[in-house]
Amino acid sequence: MIRFLQTPGPLKKIILGGILLVICGAMVITLVPGGLDFGFSGPGKGVLAQVAGQDITTQEVDKQARQMLQQQLPRGGEQAAALLPFFASRAAENMINEKAIVAEAQRMGLRATDEDVRDELQHGQYAAAFFPGGKFIGQDEYEARLQQYDLTVPQFEEEVKEDILFTKLRDLVTGGAVVTNAEIHQAFQKQNTKVKFEYAVLKKDDVLNGIHPAEPELKAFYDQNKASYNNSIPEKRKIEYAIFDFSKLQDQVTVSHADLLEYYDEHRDEYRVPEQVNVSHILIKTPLPGPDGKVDPQGLDAARKKADDLLQQLKAGGNFADLAKKYSEDTDSAKNGGSLGWIQRGRFPSPDLESAAFSLPKGATSGVINTGYGFDIIHVNDKQDAHMKTLEEVSSEIEPVLKQQKATQMAQSQANALVTQSQNGSLEKAAAAKGLSLITTSFVARNDALPGIGDSRPLMDAIFTEPLNTPNDVQLSSGFAVFQVLQIQPPSTPTFDEIQSRVEQQFKNQRAASLLTQKTQELSDRAKAEHDLKKAAKELGATVKTSDFVLPTDQVPDIGAMSGSAAVAFNLKPGEISGPLDNGDSGAVLSLLDRQEPSDQDYAAKKDQIRASLLQNKQGELFEMFLSDLRTRMEKSGKIKINQDEMKNLTRPRGEEGE
């Protein structure tokens, strides 16, 4: 089901919340109680974990991780590559927990029947996709839609059963959660009480400006903290290297017609263009069902009337894009004039929409279509029959790919040859024999940029693990580099003279923080003794300000979030003065001026919302504790086994492979 959901498509913009949302996937991810730290015995190569006898393969986890990453960073790039290990860890946790929960549900005798599945598809969150208007879309269409996401009917329905088991187990575990009226009222008071206060502020920068340490003080500070400076000058290395640049080698590469034809024949599926239509739509949503499961008929009639009125405006010559921007309730597409772009068969959320889109001619507008979740009007902007792009059409796309491939092979071959020849003599002579320029650096640290290369972590990691006088090659984003370490300068401890300015800054920061704490405490003590914050502030040079009425969720200048240390203001009585508040770059003392209690009417309006929120939190806490206990029990009994070698390889930062 996760694969189904993570496949991008315009249907997610159209239906409420998207088709086939996973009930449990996201919740399981958020309820992970800790990191992966299990003993290993059992799973073989390619199997990341076994849960209750079921294998979770490394390939499955890697696939899910890449799908999760694609959702977060659809453009990919270096940042995506760097984050893949993190998502792999999350995907592993997700899949292990899912199987553990299903196994426990089955152990407890819970079952998901075929009837449960039918009921979920017809009346649950899948109804709009497969039973629009209460009518089944048909077995052929059902299978076709699942095939769009590489799912068979048995695979999909088995995953629906697992979701149902999860829900049954969750409801069983959290069914005892209760929220009392006292808890609701207490939460309401805490969330909605407002306070107004005056506050005196002392700035760290003002304290810092008054600190002027003498050299003997700095030397004493250096000696006291010398351990923290040990080996703080990092290891440095002097290297020489030659570069094989892809862009220069590509100029030497030729691509023949035979090369293009061979690549085209091997990748024909990539050039198949399915039948598709480019459509825009105007959506008027229907009301959601009430607590009794019924839809308000008046709201339904109002939505239908609004859609009919829009259709009449279109028939009278109204501009579709303008009306979509103004009235469509699909906010994502509305800002683009209702455009949904190109959509293939099987990707529409409603069979009636799909039928209209593919039957209407280019430039035509449909009538009002009841999709089950709203009333839709679509306009066909363009149509395209299924066809195969010709070689002539795609040769301009293929040629740079082949040039890049050939240049990479050429660079790799030349780099390997240079390494081999260098091992029999010297890198300098081997490079000279090939007419290559050799770059020799001064001593460089691991985080330095290299001339002609810039920042390259893979190369620097290799440089700082390679022994002296051992030629090696590393692939870069722009080519290959062949390098050799000439000298190594080990880490060292700087003398006082070398880092005097750094020592001075650290000394001043430490002294300023200490003085600010002392001064803020003195401000609080004086204000309390004199019962006058303004007078104490004037004596100590603090600035006095007055807040607006603020809630616990608000921010106040120089104070920060009222949910932080300033939350003490909600516990003060009018006229009462707080203790010192440390906000990092400033210190403050508060004096409460006024408190504004929420009204009974406000409580009545928010009571149900607060009850639902508190109940959800309690249920989440109960389920989190249950899941944590379940994981512990299954690990101890050997029902969860982790292949630590596979886990290490999967979650290792990219660039460390092979080390």
Asked whether the CA dihedral 36, 38, 41, 42 is positive or negative, the reply is negative
- 3-class secondary structure per residue, 321-384: HHHHHHHCCCHHHHCCCCEEEEEECCCCCCHHHHHHHHHCCCCCECCCEECCCEEEEEEEEEEE
Q: Does residue 210 sit in helix, strand or coil?
A: coil
Same domain membership, residue 371 and residue 252: no
Instruction: Give me the half-sphere count of Cα atoms (radius 13 Å) on the Cβ side of residue 639.
Output: 16
In the block, residue with structure tokens 């603090």 = 542
Residue 77 confidence (pLDDT): 61
Q: Are 272 and 388 in contact (CB under 8 A)?
A: yes
Domain membership flag for residue 634? no
What are the tokens at 246?
A: 């892809």
Domain membership flag for residue 409? yes
Closest to 147 (Cα-Cα) out of 4, 350, 296: 4
Q: How many CB atoms lie within 10 A of CB 49?
A: 26
> Do the bridges between strand 194-203 and strand 54-57 make them parallel or antiparallel, or are there none, so unpaired?
unpaired
* Of 454, 489, 524, the domain-final residue: 489
Residue 654 confidence (pLDDT): 56
Strand partners, 499: none
Could you tell me the CATH number of the domain that includes residue 309?
Answer: 3.10.50.40
Tell me the CA end-to-end span of the chain in Å, nearest whole number.
36
Closest to 236 (Cα-Cα) out of 543, 464, 419: 464
* Of 357, 385, 413, the domain-final residue: 385
DSSP character for 75?
T
Same domain membership, residue 588 and residue 455: no
Instruction: Report the alpha-carbon distance of residue 406 to residue 415 in Å, rounded.
Output: 14
DSSP character for 8?
-
Domain membership flag for residue 616? no
Strand partners, 343: 277
What are the tokens at 255?
A: 């691509």
Burial of 330 (0-12, 13-18, 19+ CB in 10 A): buried
Going by C-beta distance under 8 Å and a sequence separation of 6 or more, which residues neighbour residue 210? none
Same domain membership, residue 368 and residue 321: yes
Going by C-beta distance under 8 Å and a sequence separation of 6 or more, which residues neighbour residue 49? 43, 55, 56, 92, 95, 96, 640, 641, 642, 643, 647
What are the tokens at 513?
A: 């923080």
Same domain membership, residue 280 and residue 162: no
- 3-class secondary structure per residue, 610-646: HHHHHHHHHHHHHHHHHHHHHHHHHHHCCCEEECHHH
Domain membership flag for residue 612? no
Q: Taking each helix axis from N to C terminus, what angle separates 78-107 and 153-174, rounded to the nearest 10 degrees?
A: 70
How many domains, in total, are found in the chain? Answer: 4
Instruction: Report the alpha-carbon distance of residue 286 to residue 352 in Å, rounded.
Output: 16
Same domain membership, residue 134 and residue 282: no
Instruction: Report the alpha-carbon distance of residue 408 to residue 417 in Å, rounded.
Output: 14
Same domain membership, residue 535 and residue 475: no
Instruction: Give me the half-sphere count of Cα atoms (radius 13 Å) on the Cβ side of residue 193.
Output: 19
Domain membership flag for residue 608? no
What is the total residue count of the chain? 659
Residue 81 confidence (pLDDT): 72
Same domain membership, residue 99 and residue 10: yes
Q: Are 554 and 570 in contact (CB under 8 A)?
A: no
Same domain membership, residue 158 and residue 37: yes
Domain membership flag for residue 146? yes
Q: Which of the residues in the chain have pLDDT under 50?
A: 1-41, 655, 657-659
Same domain membership, residue 246 and residue 155: no
pLDDT in tens, 45-92: 889 999 998 899 988 888 888 888 877 776 666 666 778 888 889 999
Domain membership flag for residue 623? no
Print burial letters for 505-521: b (CB count within 10 Å at least 16), e (below 16). Answer: ebbbeebbbebbeebbe
Same domain membership, residue 298 and residue 246: no
Residue 344 confidence (pLDDT): 87
Closest to 9 (Cα-Cα) out of 345, 347, 373: 347
Could you tell me the CATH number of the domain that includes residue 36?
Answer: 1.10.4030.10
Residue 33 confidence (pLDDT): 37
Domain membership flag for residue 411? yes
- Residue 513 belongs to domain spanning: 194-228+498-596
What are the tokens at 73?
A: 């960073």
Same domain membership, residue 26 and residue 8: yes
Q: Are 362 and 280 in contact (CB under 8 A)?
A: no
Burial of 598 (0-12, 13-18, 19+ CB in 10 A): middle
Instruction: Give me the half-sphere count of Cα atoms (radius 13 Å) on the Cβ side of residue 531.
Output: 2
- Written as one letter, the residue type at 254 is T
Same domain membership, residue 349 and residue 427: no
pTM above 0.75, yes or no: no
